[in-house]
Amino acid sequence: ASQELARLAERSMQLQATVQEGAITLSSTQGSVHVEPVRWK
C-alpha cells in the first residue's frame, strides 16, 4: 500500500479519506488506494 500511496503524492495535494467497515480509502485526482489494517497479536 505504501507504493500506491506514493503514487498519489504531489505538491499541494488534497486527499479525501473514507472510512467504512474498518477499511480506509484515500482518494485524490491521481487515483485511489484502499487500505485494510491488520491487527497484530
pLDDT at 25: 95
pLDDT at 6: 86
Give Cα 27 to chain centroid, integer Å.
6
At 4-39, the pLDDT tens digits run 888 888 888 899 999 999 899 999 988 999 999 888
Pairing verdict, β 23-28 and 31-35: antiparallel
What's phi and psi for 35, nearest 5 deg?
Answer: -125, 130
pLDDT at 39: 86
Contact 26, 17 (CB under 8 A): yes
